[in-house]
Amino acid sequence: GAGVSQTPSNKVTEKGKYVELRCDPISGHTALYWYRQSLGQGPEFLIYFQGTGAADDSGLPNDRFFAVRPEGSVSTLKIQRTERGDSAVYLCASSPGALGREEAFFGQGTRLTVV
Amino acid sequence: SQQGEEDPQALSIQEGENATMNCSYKTSINNLQWYRQNSGRGLVHLILIRSNEREKHSGRLRVTLDTSKKSSSLLITASRAADTASYFCATDSQGGSEKLVFGKGTKLTVNP
């Protein structure tokens, strides 16, 4: 595809349920990032992959959040036992190299609503 | 935590006027980037300025960087209604992780 694709675009789930959010980065981009954005705030860093490995997961808020990128391409962000405070837009970005040094390409995000 | 802080939080101007947004950050950086976001969804990269650069231009955009003051500004000249969006600065952290940390953004409204 031409850009970063995130699915689903919207997800409504009940408190306590498990959700998976998917990100398809631009082909060939080695760096992949997950961010979370609440209304009126800037994107908040969650986790960064370089290839298959998580290079920095310091932004994950707690152990209910987990992300994988098993083949160095598609990534899945997994949230267990969802809480209403998890409601936000989850953004994925990819970059040819280290994000701080190169332009990031963002997907349109997944709006997660926990009811 | 957020590294950058944009100022002002909101800005409303008339079409044709210039818009200036400022960003301050806390730690030494390698690069600073500006992004634009429409309607709270995907961000679009505008410009990247490296720590050894002082000014950069791209079309109607002009970005300055003052590393001694740990601040940057984004100037949009001859604004258009289509420039209405939120604008964010983002920085990496020199010597730290390669993650990009965003500020809270400036919401710009350009009135026709």
Per DSSP bridges, beta strands B85-91 and A5-7 are unpaired
Separation of CA A57 from chain center: 11
Q: Identify the contact set of chain A against chain B, taking CB-CB distances under 8 A.
A: 4, 31, 33, 35, 37, 39-45, 48, 50, 55-56, 58-59, 89, 91, 93, 98-109
Q: What's the pLDDT score for residue B106? A: 95
- 3-state SS, A22-76, equals EEECCCCCCEEEEEEECCCCCCEEEEEEECCEEEECCCCCCCCEEEECCCCCCEE
Output the pLDDT for position B1.
44
Mean pLDDT of all residues in A68-87? 96
Predicted local distance difference test score (pLDDT) of residue B54? 97
Chain B residue whose CA is closest to A60: B1
| Residue partners of B51: CB distance under 8 A and separation at least 6 | B28, B29, B30, B31, B32, B65, B67, B94
What pLDDT, on the 0 to 100 scale, is given for residue A99? Answer: 61
> CB-CB: which of B40, B99, B102 is closest to A89?
B40
Strands A88-95 and B101-102: unpaired
Mean pLDDT score across all residues of chain A: 93
- Find chain A residues with C-beta within 8 A of B35's C-beta: 104, 106
Task: Return the residue matching tokens 């837009």.
Answer: A89
Residue percentage of chain A with pLDDT more than 90: 81
Cβ-based contacts under 8 A for chains A and B: 80
Q: Minimum mean pLDDT among A64-68, A90-94, B3-7, B16-20: which range?
A: B3-7
pLDDT the model gives residue B28: 87
Edge-to-edge strand list for the sheet holding A19-24: A5-7, A19-24, A75-79, A65-68
Predicted pLDDT of residue A31: 92
Q: Which stretches of chain B drop beneath a pLDDT of 50?
A: 1-2
Q: Which residue has the higher pLDDT, B4 or A2?
A: A2
Question: What's the pLDDT at B94?
Answer: 67
pLDDT of residue B67: 94
